[in-house]
């Protein structure tokens, strides 16, 4: 483990998804120096892996990539990818943050993202970014529009043949890289660590995640993306074009037994979106959504739902009790039709998509911050008046880290978190140096460094 010197910033943003990037850009535009720490090898969060967005059906990459590039090139933003926050503790008015930068085995300063290493590698592995539906090499650039465009060597699956090293024109491969401890001093922290889906094996009645043609909604996003693993929608088991696709709503959400008693908020709308996109790419396919309630609460959402019905997508008010498969690996769904006196039916589809419950990606307690709320998401002290403020002074929350929410809400909240953090930082500056006005010229961390050491 290598120890590096301390880095001093005004604000630390944990999580480089759309919310974290928006908060960082808003703070940086006001002159604050921001460090974004992202655990994945690229920034962009879940949004960069989505196909299109509801209810406008705009291309997700086209919206997210410019934000990623803006953050990458902003003079006041520093980004550490493939890094994790291990500890945060407060000393007077500063947070002392311990971060571990994981080794990429590729020198970030030398790598140009040319991918010659990737073309030289002979080892094929499931591609996590493609929901394990596509293939990647043991050394690879995380995805086409990844930021930074720097390769990453999966040392656990590398056979150390040295082909990548020979192919790299920049001499960037470094098999001896070690994890690096980075010590950061920040005056404010924004937690934007987002969500994860519960695992597809959460329920034995749904096939324990073993059924090849039962996908998660995030996997379906990749199949629908123009640059997805197959380039079009095909069944993973046999590469056949599906004629019948069903969506199972509330798979885990509003379900105490799955540990997600709350509504995950975005599933109704993304299932409708995916069904609409499927009816465009597979016009002859039957599309069914098994749902308990449709929660179309946002602007334009109800019209979006009505449009889906008008397009011929079948909405069946039903609870899915079990999912199995027949000899051709077609998923067989056992449903209780709620509108017809609880009649139970078995229906066969070519593919099934699970709208799995969303849970927090990070527990702040792991790093020594205040405990999360009962649902596991970050606690907000005044949800109705100041939804970005946490019980810990100087710590703010943005996006889905505070609870499941869609992209517009995440962006709005991220802007609010940046405003709260900016006001807090200005308050610290004027307390340390009352002669200075409230107007914030570019704040040098050293301006307030003298307040405590």
Q: Which residues bind ligand FAD (CB under 6 A)?
A: 14-20, 37-40, 45-47, 50, 53-54, 84-85, 192-195, 217-218, 221, 266, 270, 273, 361-362, 399-401, 405-408, 410
| Gap between the Cα atoms of 315 and 289, Å rounded | 5
Contact predicate 228/344, CB 8 Å: no
Phi-psi region of 47 (alpha: psi -120 to 50; beta: other; left: phi over 0): alpha
The distance of closest approach from Cβ of residue 451 to ligand FAD in the complex, given in angstroms and rounded to an integer, is 28
Which SS3 state, helix, strand or coil, does residue 217 take?
helix
* Cβ(195)–Cβ(18) below 8 Å: no
Least Å from the CB of residue 42 to ligand FAD: 8
Identity of the residue, 53 or 313, whose beta carbon is nearer to ligand FAD in the bound complex: 53
136 vs 405, beta carbon nearer ligand FAD? 405
Task: Compare residues 95 and 195 and give the one whose CB is closer to ligand FAD.
Answer: 195
Q: Which is nearer to ligand FAD, 139 or 192 (CB)?
A: 192
User: What's the closest the beta carbon of residue 91 comes to ligand FAD, in angstroms?
Assistant: 21
Are 106 and 166 contacting, i.e. CB atoms less than 8 angstroms apart? no
Query: Considering the complex, what minimum distance in angstroms separates the CB of residue 343 from ligand FAD?
Result: 30
- For the CB of residue 190, give the shortest distance to ligand FAD in the complex, in Å: 11
DSSP H or E segment with residue 246: strand 244-251
For Cα atoms 374, 378, 384, give the angle at the middle one, nearest 5 degrees: 90
**Hey, is 437 helix, strand or coil?**
coil
Least distance to ligand FAD, CB of residue 406, Å = 3
Nearest residue (CB) to ligand FAD, 53 versus 106:
53
Q: Among residues 36 and 168, whose Cβ is nearest to ligand FAD?
A: 36
Looking only at the bridges linking them, the beta strands covering 34-37 and 77-80 are parallel
What minimum distance in Å lies between the beta carbon of 15 and ligand FAD? Answer: 3
Residue pair 346/333 in contact (Cβ under 8 Å)? The answer is: yes
* Phi-psi map region of 208: left, alpha, beta (phi>0 left; psi -120 to 50 alpha): left
| 19/318 with CB nearer ligand FAD | 19
Q: How many residues does the chain have?
A: 453
Q: Residue 318 and residue 115: Cα distance in Å, rounded? A: 48
């Amino acid at each position: 483990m290598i120890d590096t010197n301390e880095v001093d910033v005004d604000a630390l943003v944990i999580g480089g998804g759309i919310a974290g990037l928006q908060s960082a850009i808003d703070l940086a535009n006001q002159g604050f120096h921001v460090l974004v720490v992202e655990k994945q090898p690229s920034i962009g969060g879940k949004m960069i892996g989505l196909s299109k967005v509801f209810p406008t059906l705009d291309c997700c990459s086209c919206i997210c990539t410019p934000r990623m590039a803006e953050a990458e090139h902003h003079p006041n933003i520093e980004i550490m990818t493939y890094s994790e926050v291990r500890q945060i503790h407060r000393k007077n008015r500063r947070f002392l943050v311990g971060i571990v930068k994981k080794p990429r085995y590729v020198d970030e300063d030398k790598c140009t993202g040319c991918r010659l290493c990737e073309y030289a590698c002979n080892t094929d592995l499931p591609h996590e970014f493609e929901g394990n539906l596509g293939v990647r090499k043991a050394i690879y650039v995380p995805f086409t529009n990844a930021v930074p465009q720097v390769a990453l060597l999966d040392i656990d699956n590398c056979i150390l043949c040295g082909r990548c090293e020979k192919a790299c024109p920049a001499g960037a491969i470094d098999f001896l890289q070690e994890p690096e401890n980075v010590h950061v001093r920040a005056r404010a922290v924004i937690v934007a660590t987002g969500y994860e889906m519960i695992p597809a094996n959460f329920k034995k009645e749904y096939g324990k995640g073993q059924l090849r043609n039962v996908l998660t909604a995030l996997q379906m996003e990749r199949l629908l993306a123009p640059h997805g693993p197959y380039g079009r929608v095909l069944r993973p088991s046999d590469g056949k074009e599906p004629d019948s696709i069903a969506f199972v709503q509330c798979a885990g959400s509003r379900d105490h037994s799955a540990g997600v008693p709350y509504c995950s908020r975005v599933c109704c709308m993304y299932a409708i979106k995916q069904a609409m996109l499927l009816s465009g790419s597979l016009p002859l396919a039957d599309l069914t959504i098994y749902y308990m309630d449709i929660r179309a609460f946002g602007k334009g959402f109800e019209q979006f739902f009505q449009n889906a019905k008008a397009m011929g997508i079948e909405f069946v008010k039903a609870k899915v009790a079990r999912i199995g498969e027949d000899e051709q690996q077609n998923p067989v769904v056992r449903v209780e039709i709620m509108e017809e006196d609880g009649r139970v039916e078995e229906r066969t589809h070519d593919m099934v998509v699970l709208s799995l419950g969303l849970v927090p990606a990070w527990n702040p307690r792991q790093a020594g911050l205040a405990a999360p709320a009962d649902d596991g998401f970050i606690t907000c002290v005044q949800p109705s008046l100041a939804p970005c403020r946490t019980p810990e002074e100087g710590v703010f929350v943005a996006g889905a880290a505070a609870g499941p929410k869609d992209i517009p809400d995440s962006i709005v909240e991220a802007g609010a978190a940046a405003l709260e953090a900016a006001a807090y930082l200005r308050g610290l500056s004027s307390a340390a140096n009352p002669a200075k006005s409230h107007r914030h010229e570019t704040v040098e961390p050293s301006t307030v460094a003298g307040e405590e050491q």
